[in-house]
Amino acid sequence: MSGKPQTPAIDGWHTMASSPHLIGTRCRSCGTYSFPKQAHYCRNPDCEGTEFEELELSRTGHIWSYTNACYKPPEPYVAAEPFVPYAIAAVQLEKEEMVILGQVVEGVTVEQLKVGMPVELVLEPLHETDDDIKVTWKWQPVAL
Ligand SMILES: [Zn+2]
């Protein structure tokens, strides 16, 4: 890989550390977690909270559901060009227990995935521009 800097494909959705975290918010009124960050209203329909605390979410969880993506996903999910089918996992975060969708790392197929499988968050390059390499979060099965 070239010496270009790595930058997030979507600004502000995750940290760039070697052990990355997604960045979410927690409602100051009811404690409900959100990802992506919430700024105006609470995801909890019974809550009228309007103040949110930004925090790093758990970077580990368990697969809740998964599927094969054979079509380019809608915005804001960013896919590589040309589009190659990949596995998508809905992962229940360890602490927050909210479910976060993400691509599964390259080279892992749906046949290798199981509900309940432990995964962790990693960053993988999506595509390269003239100035940098865009990365996004993916789920990496811990045991594979
Ligand atoms: Zn709330």
The three state secondary structure string of 78-109 is: CCCCCCCCEEEEEEEECCCCCEEEEEECCCCC
pLDDT of residue 144: 78
Distance 52 CA to ligand 1 centre (A): 8
Distance 114 CA to ligand 1 centre (A): 32
Distance 88 CA to ligand 1 centre (A): 28
pLDDT of residue 24: 97
**What SS3 class is residue 31?**
coil
Distance 91 CA to ligand 1 centre (A): 22
Distance 46 CA to ligand 1 centre (A): 8
Residue 67 phi/psi, 5-degree rounding, is: -155, 170
pLDDT of residue 80: 67
Question: What is the Cα gyration radius of the chain?
Answer: 16
pLDDT of residue 3: 83
Distance 81 CA to ligand 1 centre (A): 38
Distance 33 CA to ligand 1 centre (A): 8
pTM: 0.85
Residue ranges in the chain whose pLDDT is less than 50: none
pLDDT digits (tens, 9 = 90+) for 65-100: 999 877 666 667 666 677 777 899 999 999 999 999
